[in-house]
Chains A and B, each alone.
Chain A
Amino acid sequence: MNKKILSAPYLLWSVVFIIIPLLMVFYYGLTDKSGAFTLENILAIATVEHSKALWLAIKLSIESTIICLILAYPLSMILSKLNVNQHSFIVFIFILPMWMNFLLRTLAWQTLLEKTGVINSILKTLGLPGINIINTSGAIILGMVYNFLPFMVLPIYNSLSKIDKNVINAARDLGANGFQTFLKIMLPLSTPGIISGITMVFVPALTTFVISTLLGGSKILLIGNVIEQEFTQTGNWHLGSGLSIVLMIFIIVNMLITAITDKDGEGTML
């Protein structure tokens, strides 16, 4: 009925502001400076430096995502069992750090992690050995986990809090112990949240460049750095777009996974 008309504003908007810009990226990616069609920008991913940058980015993103998952799940479980009235408060407490500018937060980690930084100063006064992870991939992972943890916690927390308490009680009544309840009830029912969380962490982590520049000492070249440099320093938008098209494969894969597992077609981020 007239509900379909309601979709018009949004569809129009998404065509103009999502699809068309995307097509322009494709246009740049598939042409060279003279405007001729070429696949070289996309195939450029195969060069030694680019594939290494991509591989490193994938590796670090996977590691960060796993760490986020491991940290977030128990946290979400604990939080979901808290007082229902605290819901908004909890959501806020985790979103609040994001209100501090991203660059400043990352710079603050520099101050914390440096050889002469806050953490090492404290450790030294306590007589303990210092840590030296700044300017290594360890610091990059820490930065990624720090920035994206809320994105993992919130969807999982939402999924878990939606689980009807009676279902859990029923399982307990039927003799399941804590672990079995977790495995058979909580885990499957929170899967949409987990997948949301993984998506919201893995893909942004894959394309980050600020974190690797500030916390990795700009020594570790990630695919995000390559793309950013092509756009802002080299000025080769064609190559930058070509490489971005390659990254979009991840987006497409994710969309497929979400479409398949999300049987109700709802999306469950928040």
Chain B
Amino acid sequence: MRNALKKLYITLILIFLYAPIVTLIVLSFNKSKTRAKWGGFTGKWYISLFKNDDIMAALGNTLLIAFVSSLVATVIGIIACIAIQAMKKRSRSIVIGITNIPMLNADIVTGISLMLLFITLGIRFGFLTILLAHISFNIPYVILSVLPRFKALNPSTYEAALDLGASPFKAFMKVVFPDILPGVLSGFLMAFTMSLDDFIITHFTKGAGIDTLSTKIYSEVKKGIKPEMYALSSIIFISVLVLLFLVNYMPKENKKEIK
């Protein structure tokens, strides 16, 4: 009985979380361009999607920016964590406090302040400025994922490796890194997700001719979202979902490694 209740609760929450997603997927097959009417079933938006150069370019930009910014943020974040770990409590609190600022500040304030920064520094707006902005707001997510793992480490293992003759870098990679890996991956994932979805910061830091999916969608709100967007979002969603299931239900000899 108790188990049934638990399962029911989880199911209800999942329905709540996924209802809009399902709605969007259904709309992607809507023959009518407007979301207010069901015009019949069609797959044509999926086809016209791939013919649309603008959307494809935006997709490429979005994925590239998300990937690169998350990667850079992860590297910087890990280095930062090593340093933070070695700090005294007071400096640690201050640095963590500063780290939290982009996450807590209103998106629009972060976006505008970065735009002001780039204008002051005379940097030309374009791909680079978006990348810098994304890295900036991604780093906090990485740090906050990795830091707890650092805390849980046993410092003696690292020192033992050094004693045995390993260079600090090698010791780090062989001893420390595997242990913090789950946190690193979590952080990377969060950063990637936040980067994918960001609109307002990208809007203020992008140059002419560069669009991410988010900015493209927002510019369509006034006139009505192109159904190709529903199709695209559905494709992204379904592919990630399928990957997730495949990976999880593949035969696993090394199940113990995954955590």
Contacts and interface: CB of A to CB of B under 8 A. Distances in A.
A268 B150 CA distance: 11
A25 B109 CA distance: 8
Interface string A106-148: 1111011000101000000000000000000000000000100
A104 B102 contact: no
A17 B117 contact: yes
A112 B9 contact: no
Contacts of A268: 144, 148
A228 B117 contact: no
16 contacts: A10-B139, A13-B135, A18-B136, A22-B101, A22-B113, A25-B113, A99-B236, A99-B240, A101-B197, A105-B21, A149-B17, A199-B100, A207-B108, A244-B109, A258-B100, A267-B148
Contacts of A188: none
A265 B93 contact: yes
Contacts of B19: 108, 112
Contacts of A107: 35, 225
B117 A103 contact: no
A237 B24 contact: no
Nearest to B62: A101
B258 A251 contact: no
Chain B interface bracket (under 10, 10 to 19, 20 to 34, 35 or more): 35 or more
A7 B83 contact: yes
Name the prevailing secondary structure of the B interface residues. Answer: helix
Given A25-B116, A241-B109, 13 more contacts: A6-B79, A7-B87, A7-B95, A10-B83, A14-B95, A24-B117, A86-B248, A95-B190, A98-B193, A102-B197, A209-B108, A240-B108, A267-B96
Contacts of A199: 100, 104
B111 to A, nearest CB: 9
Contact of B107 (A22, A100, A118, A207): A207
B108 A231 contact: yes
A99 B151 contact: no
Contacts of A86: 248
B83 A269 contact: no
Interface in A211-247: 224, 227-228, 231, 237, 240-241, 244, 247
A253 to B, nearest CB: 10
Contacts of A17: 114, 117, 132-133, 135-136
A267 B213 CA distance: 32
Interface string B126-165: 0000001101100101011101101100000000000000
B173 interface: no
A104 B230 contact: yes
Interface residues of A, number: 88
Name the prevailing secondary structure of the A interface residues. Answer: helix
Contact of B114 (A21, A102, A266): A21
B89 interface: yes
Interface of A: 1-4, 6-7, 9-11, 13-14, 16-22, 24-25, 28, 71, 74-75, 78-79, 84-89, 91-109, 111-112, 116, 118, 146, 149-150, 158, 199-200, 203-204, 207, 209, 224, 227-228, 231, 237, 240-241, 244, 247-248, 250-251, 254-255, 258-259, 264-270
A102 B183 CA distance: 25
Given A95-B193, A244-B109, A78 B10 contact: yes
Contacts, number: 241
Nearest to B93: A259
B210 interface: no
A22 B193 CA distance: 24
Contacts of A14: 95, 98-99, 139
B24 A7 contact: no
B86 interface: yes
Interface in B14-29: 14, 16-21, 23-24, 27
A112 B104 contact: no
Contact of A96 (B107, B109, B113, B244): B244
A104 B217 contact: yes
A104 B229 contact: yes
